[in-house]
Amino acid sequence: MVRNDLGSGSIPDWMMKKNEYVPTKDREGFLTKSLLGFLRLFRHFSMRGRGDISVAGAGTELVLTLGMIIMIAMTDSGVFLACAGAGILGVLSFSRIDIMKRALSTSLGVTAFTFVIMLPAFFLYKSLGFLVLSFKVFLSVTALSLLTSVIPWNRITAALRLFKMPNILIFVLDMTIHYILLLGNVAYDMLAALKLRSIGKNKDKVNSFSGILGTLFMKSVAMSKETEDALTCRLFEGRYDAAKTDFGIKDCIPLFTLIIFIILYIFVG
């Protein structure tokens, strides 16, 4: 296995000795935290890779979720909040365990943050309104998180057409998600490589940071040039007409749910 064409031929003395390096402590928070962030991103997308779990149409589920979020924001009725909570938590309790975990990890994080931020308002107003606000935040974020965990991304973006979002923007959005994963993987690999090499003090953290993001930018430019070519080759001239989205019987379930909640809102909200 050992080949003899090693440059000048001989291995330097220091490489023959046992490595006696003792690492010194350093704070590599920026690396670890960034790496964890990317893992979260990949997990989010890989979960979705296992196919379409949703029973209902993406478009109407999006409408239902947004409708609920708006009504939750506007209501000052405890009954309505309780019903919305029953609905959302009910769906959550029947969800697949990984979806449940993901939805809760997002919404509980945001809720905890809100709770801390809003706690001083208690002393300001001597009211527990901040709890209601935290609960509202919890419900909205859980609902949205459930939606994005259950429905594949490409169907969510396609559903945005229902809101009159131009095809071209949806097209760019799809492309963006594609590139977030590509660039995210590149960034993750570079961060991981840097972390493996940063066994001691890295005095110039900012330098390695700018190297990674700078390289990432260059890579993005190169990629965008290639995609531009690919678009030209497939006759793209700034217009994009996508296939029409079908409306099926399964789209009715979310709509029906929404109508019930709207009626409830009108009566108690």
Rounded least distance, CB 60 to other proteins, Å:
16
Rounded least distance, CB 96 to other proteins, Å:
10
At a CB cut-off of 8 Å and minimum separation 6, what does 186 contact?
A: 216, 219
Q: What value does the CA radius of gyration of the chain take, rounded to a whole number of Å? A: 25
**Residue closer to other proteins (CB basis): 16 or 98:** 98
Rounded least distance, CB 62 to other proteins, Å:
10
> What is the dihedral sign for C-alpha 186, 184, 187, 23?
negative
Please state, in angstroms and rounded to a whole number, the distance separating the CA atoms of residues 101 and 268.
32
Secondary structure of residue 152 in the 3-state scheme: coil
**Residue closer to other proteins (CB basis): 11 or 97:** 97
Residue 1 contacts residue 151 (beta carbons within 8 Å): no
- 108, with CB counted inside 10 A (0-12, 13-18, 19+), is middle
What φ, ψ does residue 12 adopt, rounded to 5°? -65, 155
> What is the dihedral sign for C-alpha 66, 70, 76, 77?
negative
**Residue closer to other proteins (CB basis): 31 or 64:** 31
Please state, in angstroms and rounded to a whole number, the distance separating the CA atoms of residues 54 and 156.
11
Rounded least distance, CB 261 to other proteins, Å:
12
**Residue closer to other proteins (CB basis): 253 or 268:** 268
Amino acid at 62: L
Residue 258 contacts residue 63 (beta carbons within 8 Å): yes
**Residue closer to other proteins (CB basis): 252 or 268:** 268
Please state, in angstroms and rounded to a whole number, the distance separating the CA atoms of residues 16 and 97.
52
Rounded least distance, CB 145 to other proteins, Å:
6
**Residue closer to other proteins (CB basis): 43 or 255:** 43
Rounded least distance, CB 143 to other proteins, Å:
9
Rounded least distance, CB 235 to other proteins, Å:
4
**Residue closer to other proteins (CB basis): 18 or 33:** 33
